[in-house]
Structure 1
Amino acid sequence: MGPGRDNDTVAGEHPAAKRPRTTAVRSAYPRRRAVVACQLCRMRKTKCDNRRPSCGTCTSLQFQCVYQDASTDFSSFDAASLAILDRVNYAIRLLEQHPAHRTGTIDSPNSPQRRQDAQNVLEESEANMAVTASPKDNDFRTTEYTFLSEAQQLQANCASSRILQWPLFRDICNMNDADALFFNPAYSDSSIRRTTTSSSRGIREEDVPSLIEDFLENVHTKNPILDPNELRNSCRHISEDGFQWDGPSCLILIACALGTVSRPFSLEPPSPQDASRFDAHDHATGESYYIAARKRIGLLDSSIVAIQCSFLIGVYEMYLMRPLRAWLSFNRACTYFQTYLLASSLSQPVEQSSEAIRSRLYWSCLKSDCEMREEIPLPPTGLAKVEHSDAFPSPPVSVPNADTESQTEPMETLDASSERSWYYYLSEIASRRIMNRITATLHPQNPEEWANTPVHHLQRIAEELDTQVAQWVDSLPPSSRLSFDNPADELSYVLRARYLDLRDRIWRPFLYLAAHSSPQSPNLLMYAQNANICLDMICKQVQHCFIRHRHHGSWLAARGFYTKGLLVLLAAKSHNIAMPSDWESVIETCIAGLRYWEDEAPDLRAARLTLEHIYQLVNPAVPAF
């Protein structure tokens, strides 16, 4: 659909056969061909024709063409020159640092301590924490964090309540009705009181091992921020010594709470009489573990364990449809993370295993914060200003197999379940990056700006982003791609929903333009054709949803029903767009999804009533709800 991409590979130059005297030196420090592509072509990994002031690709896409300053472009340097420059820059940084920040020993140029020593304050971390990366990596990371920074300011524009401000809906409903209930802390407190008054088995140490395994099977697969072996070791210590008032006990308690309320993925649809409260028969026991964990979280210093506990408490609160409390916990985890980074920059070098855990925590905290802010206009976390992590977190390395005495198999690799979990986690991070680009480039502060953008320009941007989504799907591992069309497990189901949501966001501007254009508009045909792509993505996602499965994103999925229902009703109300034959069943499914969860989240009940009200206005033949 979008412009094609060239898969160019830069091949190393072979030394000439007539000059054997220099062969050894050249093989030790192979020279690389200069890379002079503009920043857009580097990001898209396409061949740049290097025209000035604007290359052919940027001219066709009507993007501003930017070339890297030659004074900072080291891409044409050979390995020896880069090594010398790296060491010289490192020495300069050591001399410029305050004496109190020096450790007395010189670390290797690639050590985590070197990056941490360069971080004197969190606000300067974006420049300092990338000093050991190659120029190509720096370009990639700077581009991605630019998209993240811009998207952070625009994420709330994609919220369902903002659609009620669009002209066709502006005088029908008040966009603040559902959001007012979200910010009402009373319903979270009443939910806790209602749950704790139910029957509970209480905290029993003999239940801990089985609950930990349930947590690892049902929850940890989506956010692998813990070391399962360390978690099981802590579990054994608690079985021997009981719960203490420390970090490991707090982590075990919140993991047990999640293990109690989580369930395996189920394809069973709910009946019209079903509601989420009937699925909450054991939530009172989960609350017992949760309350015990919250009593300990305030006693923890800023550490990896404290960040893990705060994040998992937020995950638990999302499981029980308490999004405001969940956001506060995620925000606490982000604050702990920033404080921990500042403290660790003044301490000893960080072990490689701890660095890997930090990278996973960074992405999980940042992803959760972005997802919450796409639905509710909440203050952004400062963690987005910290370019802490590399492109992707590293999977856990192989560990020695203590049960194997044979020397032929000294290492134990990840099992199939853990490997699949990691493929999913990395795919989610990649999709988050694409979503940031979509938000930053296609969703302005005021949707009326879409009408002021040249239609062909908007079309080319949408096609380019759509191509990136297709490439993301092509990069999925075979195990996920094979079950993508008919997902039978939770991870494939979420990835498929993510794909449909990405494409919905890409083509949503055309749905707005088609719905609000006059029948005489010369662009109406193009608008309507692209709007049908958006409607197709919405219908596919709603028709293949599993309403009753409780997970980390259940509240977000329910708010997604609200958003997608409003978009379908917008198209039907405009009479400018050819509607799918089953659009009414899509609306009814959205209403059923909101009704299933509304007992636990009053803002979802307000969303359901709003959707029903608009549905009856658009289609008066529908019986009153």
Structure 2
Amino acid sequence: MEGEIVSPVAGPVGRDQGHEFPSDGHRPPARQRARTRGVTACSLCRSRKTKCDNQRPTCGYCSRTQVECAYEDDVELNSCHIIESELLKKIETLTGLLQSQALQLTGRDESTFPPILPDTEFSALPAQNHIENHYHHYHYYQETSKNSKPNESLIEPQSTCTDHGSLSVGVDSVLSWKIFPQTYSYLTLPRDSDDNCVQSIPLPNVEYFELARLESKYITYVHTKNPIVDPRDIHHQICHVVENGLSWNTSTCLVALVCALGATSERYVAQQKSSSSLSPNEMQIDHGLMKDLEIADRFWNIAVKRIGLAMSENSLEAVQCLCLAGIWYMYNFQPLQAWKYFRLASNAWYVSFITRMPSLTNRPYDVGGSLTLEQSLYFTCYKSECELAFELPLPTSILHDIGYPHAFPSPPNVDDQAVDKDDSAIQRRSWYYYLAEIASRHLLNRIIQTHSSSKLQTPKDIRCMLQKVQIFQSQLEDWYISLPPSLSFPRPLGDITPLEEELPQLLRGRYLAILELCFRPFIQLCVSDPLEIEPDLLAKVADAASQGLKYCVIRLWGLRTPNRHHGLWFILRLIVTTSLILIAADKAQRNPALNGAQRLQMPEGWKQQILATRELFSRFWSDRKGGIYQCSQILDWALADGDEEMS
């Protein structure tokens, strides 16, 4: 398909690839889906809706993915298994709902949707190796339980404001395990103080050369992860500031935020050296980074004086300002301040959305314009709120229940948006990453939802969870093989090192996070209480828990001394969380009554890896912002033994 993107996770909204519709714009009646299946297909292939080669005792797919293979005539199906007919009916309902809503929003025939953007490297992949369109991913990761709502988003934080920590997977959730002394709630809750308030500092240099340099840094190091500004628009706004100076409007606020984030961002380096081993040229570069931090403060001072203008407006430009302010606070280890601005951005987006609804039905379909911006802002604001809600006891987002009809944002035509050819390549790769990251977040959040609603109290519950983990692993496998070559990475099966490029490094981190979270409930089960279950089930639980411990260490192996980016705060807490899990398992093995813990296989060199990773990030642990110092104190306490309550 020349001139059209074949996205790893998304495609043209409303397009049913491979099918033509009548010229009158009406879809023909859906054909009845055949309800036939091979009676000997294994449980996993049946749940994936894929053909099974029926090999016994292990089919080909289960053998390749190294998961347990079970046939209906060999073992009794678990009561929690999703009935295929109900699942197919749910998918068909969702398809019709999504398609009708897309037509209502655009007022256009589905067959007239324009192509998005070309990509030769991904379109060359076999068709079975990538996900065809929006609907496939939406269906694949959509919650299929009877109680799910048709429009229910998959990015879900806590269900109520008072249900603190119910979906937490961070440091405090592991500290609540029975193996640790119970101190007090929210031990690591940061007490942010806004030391980035308005100050009397010199104005920044607003000459073209300086602003163009900071714009380039922003596009390269910040925009690649969150494409929420149009590069052409921001370039024109920067030129306007150069020609006319700083104004009191949201446009100047947006330019100042872009420059501030560009100045504070750093180039990704796979392995960094200590300051004592830097060459004179490298020391000069390091000095340049320090100077850029001063420049960043000057531009932030300009932006924060105008941020009130963004709070008073409900435009997409105001949402951009508020969202970038949240990203700024994440760069500066102030997660509660960041959450406040992400929440303001979500509220402004929502008001903008509902007040523009009457005009949306008459709006021409514009992939490269406001629709793409609207969608990317929605996903960035919502995703940012939810990521913090999984670490801290925060209420749900206003975007939680709005029934937004898009499962993924529609990529723009980057060739039209790009400033030059190199910028076009950067943006194209950025959008592939952005879509792949959202797809992984869909699966990650579904896993967290499943774990939070499942109580492993009976053998039946445990077997059900083991089966769900197999399904999650198969979904992760599909996500992995859907990645385009420029974002793919070798399977992290053992001792790994940081990757040379940042975007594959980030996606590999998400891949490992999903695997580790799949098995975490079994670790908690083994280290909490004696298990009165059958020996064969106990062996399976211990094996799953040991897998989880292995992935904890692999997650630490894959980390690098980071460049400063807005995910660094999460990485520092990740180090403490995975370390606490490993320490909990080691501590439990010293208690003979915990029969599950006695069967755990601790990864070789796990404690040395914790110490090495702690040392690698040593320059950050003394930071008093964002609860980082408290986290380092907890880690030291746990490494010292963790038997006494913390003071």
Residue 385 of structure 1, aligned match among 401, 410, 413: 401
Q: Structure 1's 61 and 474: CA in aligned 2 closer, same or farther, altered over 3 A?
A: farther
Give the Cα separation in 2 of the matches to 1:258 and 1:402.
20
Q: Structure 1's 414 and 388: CA in aligned 2 closer, same or farther, altered over 3 A?
A: farther
Contact 1:500 1:541 in 2 (8 A): yes
1:473 paired with 2:446, answer: no
Give the Cα separation in 2 of the matches to 1:302 and 1:196.
27
Deviations 1:252-301 (A, max 9, x none): 10000001100110223464999xx9975532321221121122222231
Aligned to 2:468: 461
Aligned counterparts, 1:414-493, within 5 A: 415-444=424-453, 449=456, 454-482=461-489, 487-493=499-505
1:65 paired with 2:72, answer: no
1:248 paired with 2:260, answer: no
Displacement of 1:488 in angstroms is 0.7
Aligned to 2:547: 533
Displacement of 1:233 in angstroms is 1.3
Contact 1:594 1:604 in 2 (8 A): no
Aligned to 1:158: 169
Give the Cα separation in 1 of the matches to 2:471 and 2:462.
14
Contact 1:222 1:421 in 2 (8 A): yes
Give the Cα separation in 2 of the matches to 1:11 and 1:303.
34
1:566 paired with 2:580, answer: yes
Aligned letter for 1:164?
L
Give the Cα separation in 1 of the matches to 2:46 and 2:319.
32
Give the Cα separation in 1 of the matches to 2:264 and 2:462.
49
Q: Structure 1's 31 and 382: CA in aligned 2 closer, same or farther, altered over 3 A?
A: closer
Aligned counterparts, 1:200-219, within 5 A: 202-206=204-208, 207-219=210-222
Aligned to 1:371: 387
- Cα RMSD of the aligned pairs, angstroms, is 4.5
Residue 560 of structure 2, aligned match among 538, 541, 546: 546
Give the Cα separation in 2 of the matches to 1:247 and 1:403.
22
Residue 33 of structure 1, aligned match among 31, 34, 37: 31
Aligned to 1:123: none
Unaligned residue ranges in structure 2 (runs of 5+): 1-15, 37-42, 53-71, 113-133, 145-149, 160-164, 278-285, 493-497, 590-596
Displacement of 1:67 in angstroms is 5.2
Secondary structure of 1:415's aligned partner: helix
Aligned letter for 2:180?
F
Displacement of 1:356 in angstroms is 1.2
Aligned to 2:260: 257
Give the Cα separation in 2 of the matches to 1:401 and 1:158.
38
Aligned to 2:55: none
Give the Cα separation in 1 of the matches to 2:262 and 2:472.
38
Aligned to 2:233: 230
Aligned to 1:324: 336
Deviates more, 1:479-488 or 1:252-261: 479-488
Give the Cα separation in 2 of the matches to 1:329 and 1:340.
16
Give the Cα separation in 1 of the matches to 2:238 and 2:371.
23
Displacement of 1:111 in angstroms is 12
Give the Cα separation in 2 of the matches to 1:596 and 1:364.
29
Give the Cα separation in 1 of the matches to 2:143 and 2:475.
18
Aligned to 2:592: none
Give the Cα separation in 2 of the matches to 1:578 and 1:304.
52
Aligned letter for 1:374?
F
Secondary structure of 2:614's aligned partner: helix
Deviations 1:27-85 (A, max 9, x none): x98775312669x9999651699xxxxx999955623538569999988x9xxxx99x9
Aligned letter for 2:270?
L
Q: Between the two proteins, what is the percent identity of the paired residues? A: 25
Aligned to 2:66: none
Aligned letter for 1:315?
I
Count of paired positions: 533
Give the Cα separation in 2 of the matches to 1:360 and 1:538.
32
Aligned letter for 1:440?
Q
Unaligned residue ranges in structure 1 (runs of 5+): 1-9, 14-23, 50-54, 95-105, 113-132, 405-411, 621-625
Deviations 1:162-217 (A, max 9, x none): 2111111034x4443321xx1x243x33xx37x969x9773433421111111001
TM-score, scaled relative to structure 1: 0.74
Q: Give 1 or 2: higher helix fraction.
A: 1
Displacement of 1:607 in angstroms is 1.2
Give the Cα separation in 2 of the matches to 1:235 and 1:33.
53
Give the Cα separation in 1 of the matches to 2:558 and 2:264.
24
Aligned to 2:356: 344
Contact 2:179 2:528 in 1 (8 A): yes
Q: Structure 1's 69 and 493: CA in aligned 2 closer, same or farther, altered over 3 A?
A: closer
Contact 2:218 2:261 in 1 (8 A): yes
Displacement of 1:546 in angstroms is 1.4
Give the Cα separation in 2 of the matches to 1:158 and 1:357.
31
Give the Cα separation in 1 of the matches to 2:419 and 2:262.
28
1:358 paired with 2:381, answer: no
Q: Structure 1's 541 and 169: CA in aligned 2 closer, same or farther, altered over 3 A?
A: same
